[in-house]
């Protein structure tokens, strides 16, 4: 079996998970190189997993012509320039979301992708590859709920992670760009339309620390899409019960909910609190299989010379909408997109 | 509107609830008399609710010819003789379960009922009048699950009530007669058959105090019915999460479960324990409406000169089966009914 | 027991339910008179339930000095003038929601209430008297979820009732005034604040018939409250699975959901569709007990000379907010309340 | 990374899944050989997956000294002799359940395992490696439910598979040996005890075809364990809603349920049937990850020279109990184990 040789940049929590999936769980891929600004991270992975090449300089890795593809999990601010450089060096590219932290960056990535139509570009909106989200999409396409008319998206981080969110707040881009962007992509995907009018509100209800970054600990947006459909979004950083990602698509003839209860597993506990479902603690637990599925699909796209369903334009358009939410929230006004 | 005048005997927790329902929630009934061995209970009800007659002697109450009917919620050991006396005094009779604490008593009641075919006799198997249990019965009769082939019944008292159960253990008749009898009636009702072979086990897993009464704090029985159907019963006194009454009827084409989660109400709590449904605390909370429904049906049967679905034979036969469970448990043997 | 004598006006579906509750299920009340424009409705109730007085003229009923109180379930457009007339005739008054169909009407009612501080005025926001909603309120007050920061309200009518909604569309006041008003009252109650900014969207996604009344078959609103809290509202008339009233209150330390699944009863069906919970079909089924509780509380307020928690101002303020939703939806603009 | 070279025998549905897992999803294993009586199955796998060796003769495969381990998924009647032969040929051995179809066979396997203490022997009770079952075990060991006193196990095959079950009935060993054996192992594992008294009942309620094999389409057993704990077992072949594996462990201080609803994924469907959870269709769907986990654990045991938690004696003892169920069912008597 031919194996796609991949170089992975970024070895943070999610970057390491991607690297691990490539190394051990994708039969037709091989983790041939890793790259991180932090020498210790590189050394650790190279040694423990027996990886041929380790780099601290991304451009050095791009010179390694054994590689077929680059998987980018670096800081959000690096995504676009690394996408461009990797494509221009003739590699297939997987990049974590967000595509870019502003529209200009996204456009740079778009152009690079357009310059290399023979290369696979894959944007890490992994939820589309989650079994439940994919099943919902399939059911909708089969007509199970009629025409989708409203989507409600909850993206709630566990309060246990709020300290980290505060530390990261300065460069996160804020609640809507950092967290709601996955939901915005889902809304566009399920509704098949782009946003028209956006109103977003929020506040620092529990953690004043977000205020100095013009950010919120909880916020919501109401969006009317161009086809008339409605989007309701709620993003928060103070969820007591865990990591709560819930999506509902209401159609003219029925509804689907994905993840009403963010259950950890199939165990129900009956104790003096009542009947209890314990919940997932974070994105790596909730989307473990989705991260694997998306990387497998990236590799399969390369092997089979296909293009993934999720495109660079999904990245740009989701970023535009997330920015509009941020603008609406910051200025308390209705924002209309062209 | 003609009102049926009722004399209620027994003013314990459940007796008082029956009296209250008759007094205030059954439009075509009137609580005309109450009777209890405890003078204070009688005085309290007579005064607070403005009831015409109060008695401490049951036979005195039977002499009150203003009354149309007697509702019996006295000690289990009194049921049969009071049923007989009240019927022979030409009253309609409602009696709490169990019909009697042994077969001989039940036969006395049966004969009294047979002597007075013009009188309504109603046995308080209230679950049959619970909205959910009645709905399940209706669905089964409509064919929703095909032919019923297995029933699983859980009857679990809250551990918070275990002290009371220990205090009452000497005269309760034991786990199977005291608690499983409701489930046995349900099984007979849903399966439409009587028990053939019974094997029951149990133990004092948490409360040794039951041992000296040859009783168990938790026990289970497997019953084969004459039509071949299977009954699985679990009764317990140590339920941590509340009062758990759950029944499942498996048919050849589907199943129904009633009360999988003994939810207190429609509120779901999301907190750091996870996603929590709080539970009902006891029988008065769980079956509040069933107790009202059954008493209303008793009164309606009188008014409309109908006979209730539940008969004196349901009482006898359920007692026979509960006794067989007790015998099987005590002697660790398979018991076969003729 | 002293019984409060009530005259009930309006004998439509809900009016008749109120009358029935007064007549049969409120021990300290008596249905002494009924009134409807439709002679047959009056005759039917008077005869079947043996009611002393029947009227087709509301003002005639007000002359009956045997009465203590008036219960109003007439058309929405009649509420305010009947409230005023009944209070000025020195009766206690229960009125169905909405208080009035515009602000001016509400102010008339407010003044009448203020003129008669010795009279009980009760507005029929029955959800506050639903066991589950009341339980949620109690838990919030006990601090179970910290400070409430977001409320999400779904009010979805069954698609089976859409024909009736179309027929009634001309005088319903539209989706927000007719349906969302209950949710708006709940939001104000749980959040303890009034609305500041409102953005509402909607459309005729399945039933074009609503368009000529400037109405929608489904619509949503995002509201920022004066204390910073967020309200997300979704009202619809095309719910496939039944009558879906769901409310979620998110706090800084937990959340509560009321009615996540609008389950009909405690029966779960396992069949070849999967695991199925059947749903309630409409408001009389879902809120049966709440309607009874609120009427009982109205009567108890009279007997005990208390004032109910829900006031005439709750009516006015909810109407103001519902109107702002309507205005925002019709003009696609952000509406700000002073 | 050293890779354990495995030869897999049996390429039926489950055998092929095991082979696939070894080939593609276990990083430290390699599928080096496959064996099946059916030449086409061997050829297909060898060719499609590029496997070095293919055999139709199991003994030939045992001569291949490149191999480190043998994975057995052949017919149940072959298990014991293949286990013995493979161990005696100095291979590590994984075998599908059941260990053997009677006690004599099991004893042969036991002796072979005892002759080769340096070899890993792994019996495929994969449920122990399912995330939810393993989580329940961990919680019990942490004391979450006090002392386990009762276990309830449902093992229900989808009615869609009943034709296959009928075809296979002659050599399946019957309902208890074929299906309940997984539940029996779970009961022994969670309760930490062996069976003492067994009563089992059942019947051909929907499919008379099982009768000529002395088999049942649905059956139940009640078992008292030596430590006094209770086991309730229900096995069936006619489940309308899918593949329903549910286990409940009741302790003195709480309960756990695994798989109350055999949900397919996280999607809830709201449609005119009500609120619907779709269900898993079969064991490969439900236990996909458990099958992978157990094979990974087998390989890790070899690499790390550990012994798995599940032993050959688990196989023997579960078989003894399953046989006792069969005997009790066939003769309608209580069976007591020494």
CATH of the domain at C116: 3.40.50.720
Same domain, B136 and B282: yes
Number of Cβ pairs < 8 A linking chain A and chain C? 101
User: Cβ separation of B201 and D203 shorter than 8 Å?
Assistant: no
Using an 8 Å CB-CB cutoff, list residues of chain D that contact chain C.
Answer: 240-242, 244, 261-264, 269-279
Please give, rounded to a whole number of angstroms, the shortest distance from the CA of D152 to a CA of chain B: 10
The two three-digit tokens of residue B291, written as one number: 């107790």
Mean pLDDT of chain A: 96
pLDDT for the residue numbered C125: 97
Same domain, D100 and D134: no
Mean pLDDT of chain B: 96
Same domain, A160 and A107: no
- Rounded to the nearest 10 degrees, what angle do helices A181-191 and A312-331 cross at? 120
C-alpha span between D64 and D59 (Å, rounded): 9
pLDDT digits (tens, 9 = 90+) for A36-90: 999 999 999 999 999 999 999 999 999 999 999 999 999 988 999 999 999 999 9
Q: Which residue of D has its CA nearest to B223?
A: D201
Confidence of residue A3 (pLDDT cuts 50, 70, 90): very high
C-alpha span between B268 and A241 (Å, rounded): 12
Q: Which DSSP symbol is given to B161?
A: G
Would the pLDDT of A18 be above 80? yes
C-alpha span between C218 and C272 (Å, rounded): 31
Please give, rounded to a whole number of angstroms, the shortest distance from the CA of C103 to a CA of chain A: 26
Burial of D20 by CB count in 10 Å (0-12 exposed, 13-18 middle, 19+ buried)? middle
Please give, rounded to a whole number of angstroms, the shortest distance from the CA of C258 to a CA of chain B: 4
pLDDT digits (tens, 9 = 90+) for C140-192: 999 999 999 999 999 999 999 999 999 998 888 899 998 899 999 999 999 99
pLDDT for the residue numbered A207: 98
pLDDT for the residue numbered C172: 83
C-alpha span between B16 and C157 (Å, rounded): 40
Same domain, A155 and A282: yes
Q: Which residue has the higher pLDDT, C280 or A171?
A: C280
Assign 3-class secondary structure to chain A. Answer: CCCEEEEEECCCHHHHHHHHHHHHCCCCEEEEEEECCCHHHHHHHHHHHCCCEEECCHHHHHCCCCCCEEEECCCHHHHHHHHHHHHHCCCEEEECCCCCCCHHHHHHHHHHHHHCCCCCEEECCHHHHCHHHHHHHHHHHCCCCCCEEEEEEEEEEEHHHHHHHHHHHHHHCCHHHHHHHHHHHHHHHHHCCCEEEEEEEEECCCCHHHHHHCCCCEEEEEEEECCCCEEEEEEEEEECCCCEEEEEEEECCEEEEECCCCEEEEEEEEECCEEEEEECCCHHHHCHHHHHHHHHHHHHHHHCCCCCCCCHHHHHHHHHHHHHHHHHHHHCCCEECC
- The helix (H) or strand (E) run that includes residue D267 is strand D263-271
Number of Cβ pairs < 8 A linking chain B and chain C? 79
Mean pLDDT of D156-160: 98
Would the pLDDT of C23 be above 70? yes
pLDDT for the residue numbered D101: 81
The domain that contains C235 carries what CATH number?
3.30.360.10
C-alpha span between B308 and B268 (Å, rounded): 38
User: Cβ separation of C277 and D272 shorter than 8 Å?
Assistant: no
Q: Are B238 and B159 contacting, i.e. CB atoms less than 8 angstroms apart?
A: yes
Burial of B134 by CB count in 10 Å (0-12 exposed, 13-18 middle, 19+ buried)? middle
C-alpha span between C236 and C245 (Å, rounded): 10
What's the domain range around C226?
A: 128-286+318-336
pLDDT for the residue numbered D31: 98
Q: Which residue of A has its CA nearest to B279?
A: A274
D chain contacts of residue C278, beta-carbon cutoff 8 Å:
273-274
pLDDT digits (tens, 9 = 90+) for A171-203: 888 999 988 999 999 999 999 999 999 999 999
CA-nearest of A10, A15, A252, B228 to C237 is A252
C-alpha span between A94 and A69 (Å, rounded): 8
**CA distance to A136, D68, D88, per residue, from D115 (Å):** 53, 18, 8
Residue C225, strand partner residues: C195
Measure the CA angle with vertex A302, ends A297 and A307; round to 5°: 70
Confidence of residue B1 (pLDDT cuts 50, 70, 90): low
* Backbone phi, psi, residue B252, to 5°: -70, -15
Would the pLDDT of B236 be above 80? yes
Same domain, A52 and A168: no
Give the SS3 label for residue B287.
coil
C-alpha span between D38 and A255 (Å, rounded): 47
Same domain, D326 and D192: yes
- The helix (H) or strand (E) run that includes residue B34 is strand B29-35
Q: Which DSSP symbol is given to C98?
A: P
The two three-digit tokens of residue D153, written as one number: 């196990």
Same domain, B225 and B106: no
User: Cβ separation of C275 and D276 shorter than 8 Å?
Assistant: yes
Mean pLDDT of A290-310: 97
Same domain, A68 and A42: yes
pLDDT for the residue numbered B274: 98
Report the Cα B130 to chain-centroid distance in Å.
12
User: Cβ separation of B267 and C24 shorter than 8 Å?
Assistant: no
Same domain, C133 and C201: yes
Residue A92, strand partner residues: A69
Mean pLDDT of B155-159: 98
Mean pLDDT of chain C: 97
pLDDT for the residue numbered A171: 81
CA-nearest of C7, C169, C184, C13 to C90 is C7
B chain contacts of residue A275, beta-carbon cutoff 8 Å:
241, 261-263, 276-277, 279
Q: Which DSSP symbol is given to C282?
A: S
- The helix (H) or strand (E) run that includes residue B254 is strand B254-258
What is the rounded end-to-end Cα distance, in angstroms, of chain A? 49
ipTM of the prediction: 0.95
Place of tokens 């386990």: D148
Same domain, B104 and B77: yes
Q: Are A99 and A82 contacting, i.e. CB atoms less than 8 angstroms apart?
A: no
Q: Which residues contact C61 (CB under 8 A, 6 or more apart)?
A: C7, C9, C33, C35, C53, C55, C67, C70
User: Cβ separation of D271 and C242 shorter than 8 Å?
Assistant: no
Q: Which DSSP symbol is given to B48?
A: H
Name the domain count of chain D: 2
Strands (E), C88-194: 92-96, 121-124, 148-158
User: Cβ separation of C132 and B267 shorter than 8 Å?
Assistant: yes
Q: Which residue of B has its CA nearest to D222?
A: B222
Place of tokens 């042994």: B102
User: Cβ separation of B274 and A240 shorter than 8 Å?
Assistant: no
Residue C121, strand partner residues: C93
User: Cβ separation of B144 and C269 shorter than 8 Å?
Assistant: yes
Measure the CA angle with vertex C173, ends C172 and C178; round to 5°: 70
Task: Say whether the peptide bond before residue C195 is cis (omega within 30 degrees of 0).
Answer: no
Same domain, A184 and A194: yes
- For CA atoms A222, A227, A229, A234, give the dihedral sign: negative
pLDDT for the residue numbered D338: 83
What is the rounded end-to-end Cα distance, in angstroms, of chain C? 49
Residue D234, strand partner residues: D154, D220
Mean pLDDT of C185-210: 98
Confidence of residue C1 (pLDDT cuts 50, 70, 90): low
Same domain, C332 and C261: yes
pLDDT digits (tens, 9 = 90+) for C33-81: 999 999 999 999 999 999 999 999 999 999 999 999 999 999 988 999 9
Of A24, A27, A258, the CB nearest to D267: A258
pLDDT digits (tens, 9 = 90+) for D202-225: 999 999 999 999 999 999 999 999
Give the SS3 label for residue C105.
helix
């Amino acid at each position: 079996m031919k194996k796609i040789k991949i170089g992975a940049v970024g070895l943070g929590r999610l970057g390491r998970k991607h690297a691990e999936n490539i190394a051990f769980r994708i039969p037709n891929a091989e983790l041939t190189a890793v790259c991180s600004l932090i020498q210790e991270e590189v050394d650790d992975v190279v040694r423990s997993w027996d990886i041929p090449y380790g780099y601290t300089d991304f451009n050095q890795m791009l010179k390694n012509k054994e590689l077929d593809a680059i998987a980018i999990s670096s800081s959000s601010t690096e995504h676009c320039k690394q996408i461009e450089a990797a494509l221009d060096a003739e590699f297939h590219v997987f990049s974590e979301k967000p595509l870019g932290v502003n529209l200009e960056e996204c456009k740079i990535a778009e152009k690079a992708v357009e310059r290399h139509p023979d290369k696979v570009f894959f944007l890490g909106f992994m939820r589309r590859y989650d079994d439940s989200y994919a099943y919902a999409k399939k059911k909708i396409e089969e007509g199970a709920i009629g025409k989708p008319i409203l989507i409600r998206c909850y993206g709630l981080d566990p309060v246990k992670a709020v300290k980290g969110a505060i530390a990261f707040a300065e460069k996160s881009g804020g609640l809507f760009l950092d967290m709601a962007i996955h939901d915005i992509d889902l809304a566009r995907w399920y509704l098949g339309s782009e946003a028209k009018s956006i109103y977003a509100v929020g506040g620092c209800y529990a953690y004043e620390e977000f205020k100095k970054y013009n950010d919120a600990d909880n916020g919501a947006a109401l969006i009317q899409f161009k086809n008339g459909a409605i989007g309701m979004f709620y993003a928060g950083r103070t969820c007591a019960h865990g990591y709560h990602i819930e999506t509902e698509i209401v159609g003219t003839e029925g509804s689907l909910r994905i993840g009403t209860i963010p259950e950890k597993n199939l165990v129900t506990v009956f104790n003096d609190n009542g009947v209890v479902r314990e919940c997932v603690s974070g994105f790596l637990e909730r989307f473990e299989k989705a991260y694997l599925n998306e990387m497998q699909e990236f590799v399969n796209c390369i092997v089979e010379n296909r293009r993934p369903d999720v495109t660079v334009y999904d990245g740009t358009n989701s970023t535009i909408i997330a920015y509009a939410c941020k603008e609406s929230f910051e200025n308390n006004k209705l924002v209309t997109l062209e």
